[in-house]
Structure 1
């Protein structure tokens, strides 16, 4: 039997933190807890978790700063928790390296499912890639080196942003429904998180250009043919 995966939960509300920890431990994870920003960074440096569940609102300094410091030390998938359905917070969270987010109140069962999905994606990324680079107009997606360039300028993407743009670039102009993107990129079996797709698309537009991805209203998104 392999080594159990380790998850760090950084959450200042003790009841929520303990509920998350209990569920993840029941599903076979090793779980560490931290209740403020500085301790979260310190525990991450010491335990080197496979994944971090991170609240945005924390004592000491907030979850965005925790995420920034953790990612600067060692890239790790981060699932952010926010008490507010605030688009700005979510986009900033994605910009500093978060891979996914959930808005409180949330289902502990759904949180555990998202943790599993994030780790499955990490495992897929670790598999050897033999695909040639995808070139669409001035956009180049290199699945071997996991680099994305537009007009020769490299964009610094989070792991899930890379997966999303690679998925769209593999079939340019094709319309990708939000629900299918959730299933194929995030590994979710329902459409409950379609705003997650929308937020990541906004982040990609900010990094790669607003003209690159077309919204097909009521359906999903398509990659344009950039010049």
Structure 2
């Protein structure tokens, strides 16, 4: 692990965040740390990916940068672990920068992908954009709940609650539910959901939407949620409707 100080920079502004840098190349880790500290962020850098999850839970970062190719634990595996219980923004930094590599990274849950070698200003700008997008979402979600009788979608805690039961939703399933429940009755096309939930290009993988809608429906049924129904609009997409009991 780098002997990395995490004291706030004197240049820290309102957008400055806590960044966890995971890269087995010590020189790259130092470079990324320097660039982001100079941009006003608090940075923790580690070179042993096996310590990443423990450090994540101790440091509580606002954003994580991950190298893809690392010994012991690769960046793809780490991103999948993070996505099991967190929607913290993830930026992949990798020498593997071909389109198929970027697509894989984005599909498994990364928010952005930057190839090595990278431009320092572009790295700082991408981190700032991810933090800004995440904070705008959090500001809009704070203290908000979508209520349908006993069924509650809590936007602040990212939980769906049916009576006294919390539904075991993944971050992506919650984003999908939040999107549909935010505008009940509206038909969302598969492309709408690909862009809004996954940040993918329209038409890129519509089957992904169908699979996640199926999983979400199953969990709603298992929790005996009777207040809402995810309905298929044939030839168009999906909508959430309120049931009249």
Question: Would you call these one fold, judging by a TM-score over 0.5?
Answer: yes
Distance of 1:197 and 1:123 partners within structure 2: 30
Query: Displacement of 1:61 after TM fit?
Result: 1.1
Query: Displacement of 1:5 after TM fit?
Result: 2.8
Residue 25 (str. 1) matches residue 37 (str. 2)? yes
Q: Which residues of structure 2 form unaligned runs of 5+? A: 1-12, 219-229
Q: Which residues of structure 1 form unaligned runs of 5+? A: 187-191
Higher relative contact order (CA 8 A, sep 6+): 1
User: Which residue number in structure 1 is paired with residue 185 of structure 2?
Assistant: 172
Residue 132 (str. 1) matches residue 147 (str. 2)? yes
Query: Displacement of 1:143 after TM fit?
Result: 3.0
Query: Displacement of 1:36 after TM fit?
Result: 3.1
* Cα pair 1:8 1:53 within 8 Å, conserved: yes
User: Which residue number in structure 1 is paired with residue 90 of structure 2?
Assistant: 79
Query: Displacement of 1:90 after TM fit?
Result: 4.6
Residue 38 (str. 1) matches residue 38 (str. 2)? no
| Equivalent residues, number | 203
Structure of greater Rg: 2
1:25-75 CA-partner distances (Å, limit 9, x unpaired):
233210111223113234324423233222333222123443465577x74
* Cα pair 1:35 1:58 within 8 Å, conserved: no
User: Which residue number in structure 2 is paired with residue 102 of structure 1?
Assistant: 113
Query: Displacement of 1:113 after TM fit?
Result: 1.0
**Aligned pair in 2 of structure 1 residues 225, 202: CA closer, same or farther (>3 Å)?**
same
TM-score normalised by L of structure 2 = 0.56
Distance of 1:10 and 1:79 partners within structure 2: 11
Distance of 1:60 and 1:5 partners within structure 2: 28
CA RMSD of aligned residues (A): 4.7
Distance of 1:213 and 1:49 partners within structure 2: 38
